Amino acid sequence: MKKILVIDDDMTFVAMIKASTDPKKYVVESAGNGEEGLERIKESIPDLILLDIRMPKMDGIEFLKEMNEKFGKEKIPVLITSNVSSLDKISEGVSLGVRGYFIKSDESLQGIMGIIEQTLNN
């Protein structure tokens, strides 16, 4: 069973991901900000992280920097999941090792699940 960690302060998005994943194939956990996300990783390394950029306490970019410092850049696949379409933030995320990104408001649920499946199977 693969573990997905959703680090996002949008609880509707988190609930949507949890409801859309097959519980026989995936365990979905969540954290409301980067600090909580780092704590979850210390407990158990996920197979994939879905990471929002704008969050309270610690944003997604700061989370990536901390995670890379503590766990290594290539160890955990990360997808940026945001409503921020700033190329600067996306480029910074790519330079920090993210595998991809999608703009939540532009992507269908089916599309999001396809991106998750593809990332986990590569």
Domains detected in the chain? 2-120 (3.40.50.2300)
Of the pLDDT bands very low, low, confident and very high (cuts 50, 70, 90), residue 79 is very high
Q: What is the predicted pLDDT for the residue at 9?
A: 92
Please give the Cα distance from 82 to 69 (Å, whole number).
23
Model confidence at 24: pLDDT above 90? yes
With 80 as the cut, is the pLDDT of residue 75 above it? no
Is 80 exceeded by the pLDDT of residue 87? no
Alpha carbon distance 83, 104 (integer Å) = 5
Q: Where are the beta strands (DSSP E) in the chain?
A: 2-7, 26-31, 48-51, 78-82, 100-103
pLDDT at 98 over 90: no
Query: Which pLDDT belongs to residue 74?
Result: 65
